[in-house]
Structure 1
Amino acid sequence: MIRYFIIIFLTLTIHGCATTPQDTATAAPPPPEEALVSVWYATDRNRTEVESLKEFFGIERGELSYGICQVAIDLDESVSPLVDQTLWQLKSGEEPSNATELRRIKPLEKSEFFAQMRETLEASKEKSVLLYIHGYMRSFELAAREAARLSYEIAYKGIPAMYSWPSRDSLVNYIADVAGVDWSVANLRDFLEALTMEAPSTTIHVVAHSLGNRALLNALVQLREESEKHHLPWRFGEIVLLAPDFDRATFRRDIAPVLANTNSRISLYVSAVDIPLMASKMLSAYPRLGDGRFGPAVIPGIETIDATDAVDWVSGHSYFRRNIQVLRDLHYLIVDHRGAAERPTLEAVDSLEGTYWKLSDLPEAAEEEKLE
């Protein structure tokens, strides 16, 4: 009898431990080795006859053209391929190591460009575009890689886009780049107007770096005047000025009052260890807007962020590409839409001119936050 119960017990135990096909766990697929980011572009560079993607667009002026390019971002094998862990596992001050490569350029007619953009936006939960405008000494190929990486690193969910003006991509051609970016103002204004009209119910966020701010700020002022005159919609959300190579006094007098009178949030990032802006000041004789050596520019209607303590002399001008603290702050700003007073990455500083914010190490509570 005892033997009978032992057999029954073992039978039930074995049956309980057995797994049905439905209970069997399936091994997770291996993580991808790269992320592919589509960057929508507008450019007034010349089209070359060269087949190489690196030289598909040149350094000369050209007609405004449109298209989509694809950029591959290599994922670090030591971290999860998920964007939030790629971003948050890095330590403060550490540069993201993801390499980028331009894989494809697909030119489109203007009508086709905006038709495809509308289709993409309609299928997306995030109804917004993040437009990146590069700075001095940048090729089209490098600008596309920067736009893709910025979008990826801050976990942006909308459409990444860029405007590429005819930079000479050379250290000694700064004066030529100034002329090139000034020439692009009218074309950039036309593109921003088309983006506003062709993508209705869409929020446009803009990030400009260095000399690219020169084109953006002048184009926005012109567009604002036209929008008020012709009652055009103003769809710009976050306007981010990174290390702007722009006359500080001119911005305070002519630009800031216009932009502050819109429903956009204007965020200005400055640093006191920005060598290119120091050189620009020597050439122009006047302080640059992104140069924090003279104290951060505190201007009504503008949220100024001093990034000096978060960067070093090497990354002092390109800190948005090199510093994880800056990328975290840009995520809170562009993705979460938090103002400076709401972001855990910043500390308020009271000055005689008013309040500005200082980028500093994240508190422990912020380290535990996860990107959505």
Structure 2
Amino acid sequence: MQIKHALIASALVLTGCVPQSISLAPPPNLYSTGQNFPAEDVPPVLRTTTPRIFYLTDRLSEREGAGAEIYGSMRSEGMAFGTAQVQFGASNWDDLVTRTYVDRGGRISRLDVSGVAEDVQFNPVPLSTLRTDGALIFDPDEEDIYRQEGRAFQAAIRAEILRTGNKRVLLYAHGVGSGFDKSVTTLANLWHFAGRKSIPIVFSWPAGNGGVLGYFRDREAGDFSVFHAKEMLRLLADIPELEDIDIVAHSRGTDVMTKALREQVIFYRGAGKPPKLAMKTGTLILAAADLDTGVVRQRLQAERFSEAFEQINIYINPRDGALRLSSILTNEQRLGAATSESLPPGELARLRKSELVHVIRVENVRGGGHSYFRDNPAVLSDIVLALRTRAFPGGTLRPLELGEDGFWQLHPNYPLERLPDLRVEGSDR
């Protein structure tokens, strides 16, 4: 009975690991001079406080009101693609890029989803199959419709490339407990401070299941969504005008994305194509990864997974309470809470040198031990700089310090207690 109660308590903590607010602004000039928000580089058409964030989801749609789309935690066998309008907490563009986000009265600005419009509803999968001359094929009529839906998705992204001149995608996959709106506003925040020089797309899978068993239901929902994530990656890579796809994944979102990416790596390698060129993948960021460290070694490292990326940045926090509980429930070490003792000797150096994998230890976490990638200004700043500059850790653009244990350390010259606590309240429907 004691074990049962412990499991229930653990599940409750894990399902509640997503905070009700997200950070809006890393302090400008965190690492070195000249790293302020690059407002002059933002395309004129994107200089707005109400930008559009694209989404692809396999959450079930729940309609509310005229034309509004609200997605819950139920599964849909067919993907949906559309746009979500986000309202930043500023009255105009100049205020957004020049001022802080807490006014003189101490009130905190908001970052909200103000409208959602679904543009493409994909047919449910799996498609029907037929056996012809000993081969199993999809029903030609259903497959033709599915391809038309894929082309409509690609046409929308191509139109955005033409409208903005941005030829890079910034893709975000959230973790457990996250609602649809929260996933959109988190990506909006990352995309904004990375300079708005990409096309933002959130892959929002059916997380946010409540109750004692919510964490486990979310884990299963993540497995359900791997095929849809893979289809999204395939459709994006097949857009001729698109050059690169950067990916940020958090918590169990890292499992969804790495599974989909791994299958793509194996497919293209088997087809005789270099995975990175075929997939158009750029930087991969895994934050607070709820991944079995042993499984990562056997299913990712053993498949030379990192070959498909410019670099991989893994943010870890050995004191991450949610991942500690996940380790207890699974009886295995989680990657996002790795320590030097949990990795083979010399492995970090080899990964850094030959596979361009950088493991960054987060210290003195504030604003949530599991969601620090958006709540902690220092971590958010390093992610932003990695996306904005394409730089590896340790140089002038990302002046992290390499510790004796082989982990990179965040800005040792900028103590966290000196950083302002700038935060935006996000709404969840």
Taking structure 1 as the reference length, what is the TM-score of the superposition?
A: 0.78
Residues 1:288 and 2:301 are matched in the alignment? no
Distance between the aligned counterparts of 1:275 and 1:80, measured in 2? 39
Misfit runs of 4+, over 4 Å: 52-55, 84-87, 293-297, 361-364
Matched with 1:67 is 82
The residue identity in structure 2 corresponding to 1:124 is T
Q: Secondary structure at the match of 1:156?
A: coil
Matched with 1:15 is none
Matched with 1:174 is 215
Distance between the aligned counterparts of 2:178 and 2:168, measured in 1? 25
Q: Secondary structure at the match of 2:95?
A: coil
Residues 1:339 and 2:353 are matched in the alignment? no
Distance between the aligned counterparts of 1:117 and 1:182, measured in 2? 26
Asked if the contact 1:42–1:67 (Cα under 8 Å) also holds between the matched residues in 2, the reply is yes
Matched with 2:363 is 308
Q: Secondary structure at the match of 2:74?
A: strand
Residues 1:107 and 2:148 are matched in the alignment? no
Match of 1:357 among 403, 408, 412: 408
Q: Give how far 1:262 is off.
A: 2.6
Distance between the aligned counterparts of 2:221 and 2:371, measured in 1? 21
Asked if the contact 1:237–1:263 (Cα under 8 Å) also holds between the matched residues in 2, the reply is yes
For residues 281 and 41 of structure 1, do their structure 2 counterparts lie closer, same or farther at Cα, with a shift above 3 Å needed? same
Q: Secondary structure at the match of 1:350?
A: coil
For residues 156 and 346 of structure 1, do their structure 2 counterparts lie closer, same or farther at Cα, with a shift above 3 Å needed? farther
Asked if the contact 1:275–1:316 (Cα under 8 Å) also holds between the matched residues in 2, the reply is yes
Asked if the contact 1:325–1:361 (Cα under 8 Å) also holds between the matched residues in 2, the reply is no
Distance between the aligned counterparts of 2:98 and 2:269, measured in 1? 40
Identity of aligned residues (%): 25
Q: Give how far 1:308 is off.
A: 2.2
Q: Give how far 1:229 is off.
A: 2.3
For residues 349 and 269 of structure 1, do their structure 2 counterparts lie closer, same or farther at Cα, with a shift above 3 Å needed? same
Q: Secondary structure at the match of 1:48?
A: strand
Distance between the aligned counterparts of 1:171 and 1:81, measured in 2? 41
Asked if the contact 1:167–1:181 (Cα under 8 Å) also holds between the matched residues in 2, the reply is yes
Q: Secondary structure at the match of 1:290?
A: helix
Deviates more, 1:147-156 or 1:330-339: 147-156
Asked if the contact 1:59–1:168 (Cα under 8 Å) also holds between the matched residues in 2, the reply is yes
Matched with 1:37 is 51
Matches within 5 A, 1:89-108: 98-108=109-119
Match of 1:234 among 279, 283, 292: 279
Q: Secondary structure at the match of 1:340?
A: coil
Q: Give how far 1:51 is off.
A: 3.4
The residue identity in structure 2 corresponding to 1:358 is Q
- Structure 1 residues 5-29: Cα deviation after superposition (integer angstroms, max 9, x where no partner): xxxxxxxxxxxxxxxxxxxxxxxxx
Matched with 1:26 is none
Q: Give how far 1:227 is off.
A: 1.4
The residue identity in structure 2 corresponding to 1:247 is D
For residues 293 and 51 of structure 1, do their structure 2 counterparts lie closer, same or farther at Cα, with a shift above 3 Å needed? farther
- Structure 1 residues 66-109: Cα deviation after superposition (integer angstroms, max 9, x where no partner): 111111111399x963537659x9xxxxxx95421111111112
Distance between the aligned counterparts of 1:339 and 1:84, measured in 2? 28
The residue identity in structure 2 corresponding to 1:325 is A
Q: Give how far 1:65 is off.
A: 1.2
For residues 86 and 80 of structure 1, do their structure 2 counterparts lie closer, same or farther at Cα, with a shift above 3 Å needed? farther
Q: Give how far 1:165 is off.
A: 0.6
Q: Which has the larger radius of gyration?
A: 1
For residues 220 and 175 of structure 1, do their structure 2 counterparts lie closer, same or farther at Cα, with a shift above 3 Å needed? same
Q: Secondary structure at the match of 2:294?
A: helix
The residue identity in structure 1 corresponding to 2:360 is I
The residue identity in structure 1 corresponding to 2:291 is F
Taking structure 2 as the reference length, what is the TM-score of the superposition?
A: 0.68
Matched with 1:265 is 311
Runs of at least 5 residues in structure 1 that lack an aligned partner in the other structure: 1-33, 90-95, 368-372
- Structure 1 residues 289-343: Cα deviation after superposition (integer angstroms, max 9, x where no partner): 101456585361211000123x13x421111211111121112100111111224
Q: Which has the higher contact order (CA 8 A, sep 6+)?
A: 2
Matched with 2:230 is 189
Matched with 2:184 is 144
The residue identity in structure 2 corresponding to 1:256 is Q
Matched with 2:254 is 213
Q: Give how far 1:279 is off.
A: 1.1
Match of 2:97 among 79, 83, 101: 83
State the superposition RMSD in angstroms.
2.9
Asked if the contact 1:244–1:290 (Cα under 8 Å) also holds between the matched residues in 2, the reply is yes
Q: Secondary structure at the match of 2:403?
A: strand
Runs of at least 5 residues in structure 2 that lack an aligned partner in the other structure: 1-47, 121-148, 420-429
Paired residues, number: 319
Asked if the contact 2:284–2:309 (Cα under 8 Å) also holds between the matched residues in 1, the reply is no
